[in-house]
Amino acid sequence: MAEHTTHVIVVGDPGVGKSTFLNSLVGAATFQSGLSAVQGLTKELQSVVINGTRYSDTPGLDDTRLKKQAAAAIVEAVRLGGEVKLVFLLKMEAGRLCPKHLTTIKIVLDALQNAEIAVDESFGVVFNKLTPGEKNLWTSKMSTADAVNLLTEEIGLTNAKPQLIRFLPNEPALEDADNGVHPERQALVGFIDELKCITVPPGTTIEVDATSIPVVQKEIEARLTAHRRKRDILGEVLVGAVGAFAGGAAATGALLM
């Protein structure tokens, strides 16, 4: 494969919709997707070249039975090299970013950084299958800028920040569907077009340590808890300061009147 070939690599835990996401990008049911009762449907690297662009679907790293196989698949995808557009697909849990997804991101990014591949602000994150409540929380109750900034800070706890973050609401027509294609294909293609490339020479070898998942997740949980506690305290202080300022301004206004 030529070194300059664009290579879209999608990484995420089981059930987040990686295969459907890729099917939507290529516009056809190319990657196997659908229901699986025991483990993720993707069990090994699926990689195809379509119109000069390579697309790679990797198994979920947080799959107890397949984590070593999944790690090997991610290693193989990177070994193919190219101008890599790296996308992490995530799902919210009760409207929040969960530690297990951050753990997957950190393990993969650490492996790339250990191979001297720069990743900071050079990868994308898609929050897939948002429920109506989650969509309302993240796209209506706060501005897009505030939502992106908040999530960028949390993802940055992995020691690298994303370039782009996107929200993809759940599509009822795709529920339980085999090899589906999301109707918002053009928006997804635009997201990939906007994403920076990470130059990865073919043959590049990284080490993805699936056995480190419990330790890394414990570390991420501690970082996330501390970060959210600090943010909540700061928010309370700011709210109090704004309230005091507003009260003072009202009193001043009354005196001037």
What average pLDDT score do residues 175-193 get?
A: 78
Asked if 33 and 20 count as a contact pair (C-beta separation under 8 A), the reply is: yes
CATH number at residue 212: 3.40.50
Residue 153 within a domain? yes
Asked if 110 and 212 count as a contact pair (C-beta separation under 8 A), the reply is: no
Q: Which residues, listed in sequence order, are joined to residue 83 by a DSSP beta bridge?
A: 6, 199
pLDDT above 50: residue 253: no
Residue 63 within a domain? yes
pTM for this structure?
0.85
Q: What digits encode the pLDDT tens for the residues 121-171?
A: 999 999 999 999 999 999 888 888 999 999 999 999 999 999 999 999 888
Residue 181 within a domain? yes
User: Distance between CA 141 and CA 127 in Å, rounded?
Assistant: 17
The whole domain housing 213 covers 6-228
Say how many domains are in the chain: 1
Q: What digits encode the pLDDT tens for the residues 204-239?
A: 999 999 999 999 999 999 999 999 999 887 665 444
